[in-house]
């Protein structure tokens, strides 16, 4: 039976062997939630990039450019890191380049895996279905916050573990922790997270509406998968 493991911080990823496995990169608040929303609403492909300058340069190729640093939209970009930016107007057929504090780094570091998917609560069921069909070992790569453990990405890992229970082994310590935390939190994830100083900081940025949106499960069925340098919807 394949296993699901969880890496709580990109800083710990060198300790994981990703060969032969599928990595699921997650930054629930808000990078991967925005990416899932973008692909579900007409964006054809996404270039996740590390540097602001690299991202901005994509505009010359007619990309929408999106950037977040420390929770807010970076100067000079079309879009920030809110999923609502991809719902406000029709983006059908557009391409997107995006850089965020933590999320794009998690995707980049996951490239050693056989495949890299992007997960969020918004598409957790679809990601679980994809993984079940693939039948390979899975490592959830949590973006964390500047290298530190965070609760919301951990809860996503726990939700994914719950969906895979019975078909995957859950006996890695990090997976068990995520699974149990999700059991405690799932009846009201927002209330559970509201004691976190990290989430309180996001709330002070007036993105409570974003947080509520990002905590919804199974809104979309799209599974973003990395092909070369681009995230596209898995067929």
Applying CB under 8 A, which residues contact a second copy?
A: 8-9, 11-12, 15, 145-151, 154, 170-174, 176-177, 180-181, 183-185, 195-198, 200
Minimal distance, residue 180 CB to a second copy, in Å: 5
Minimal distance, residue 10 CB to a second copy, in Å: 11
Distance separating alpha carbons of residues 199 and 211, to the nearest angstrom: 9
50 vs 183, which CB is nearer to a second copy? Answer: 183
- CB of 15 within 8 A of CB of 173? no
Phi, psi of 199 (to 5 degrees): -70, -35
DSSP string, 39-84: HHTT--EEEE-S-HHHHHHGGGGT-EEEEEETTEEPTT-SB-S-GG
Largest CA distance in the chain: 49
- How far is C-alpha 155 from the chain's CA centre? 12
6 vs 126, which CB is nearer to a second copy? Answer: 6
Q: Which of 117, 213, 113 minimizes the C-alpha distance to 160?
A: 117
Measured in residues, the chain has a length of 235
- CB of 139 within 8 A of CB of 113? yes
């Amino acid at each position: 039976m394949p296993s699901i493991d969880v890496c709580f911080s990109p800083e710990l990823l060198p300790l994981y062997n990703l060969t032969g496995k599928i990595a699921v990169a997650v930054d629930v608040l808000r990078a991967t939630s925005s990416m899932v929303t973008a692909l579900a609403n007409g964006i054809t492909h996404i270039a996740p990039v590390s540097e602001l300058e690299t991202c901005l340069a994509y505009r010359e190729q007619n990309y929408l450019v999106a950037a977040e640093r420390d929770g807010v939209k970076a100067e000079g970009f079309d879009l920030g890191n809110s999923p609502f930016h991809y719902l406000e107007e029709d983006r059908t057929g557009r391409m997107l380049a995006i850089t965020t504090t933590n999320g794009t780094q998690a995707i980049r570091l996951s490239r050693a895996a056989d495949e890299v998917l992007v997960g969020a609560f918004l598409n957790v069921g679809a990601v679980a279905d994809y993984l079940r069909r693939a039948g390979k070992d899975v490592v959830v790569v949590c973006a964390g916050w500047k290298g530190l453990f965070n609760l919301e990405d951990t809860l996503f890992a726990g939700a994914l573990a719950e969906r895979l229970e019975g078909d995957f082994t859950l006996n890695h310590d990090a997976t068990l922790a995520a699974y149990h935390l999700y059991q405690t939190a799932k009846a009201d994830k927002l209330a559970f997270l509201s004691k976190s100083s990290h989430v309180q900081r996001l709330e002070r940025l007036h993105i409570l509406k974003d947080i509520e949106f990002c905590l919804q499960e199974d809104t979309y069925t799209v599974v973003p998968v990395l092909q070369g340098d681009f995230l596209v919807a898995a067929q």
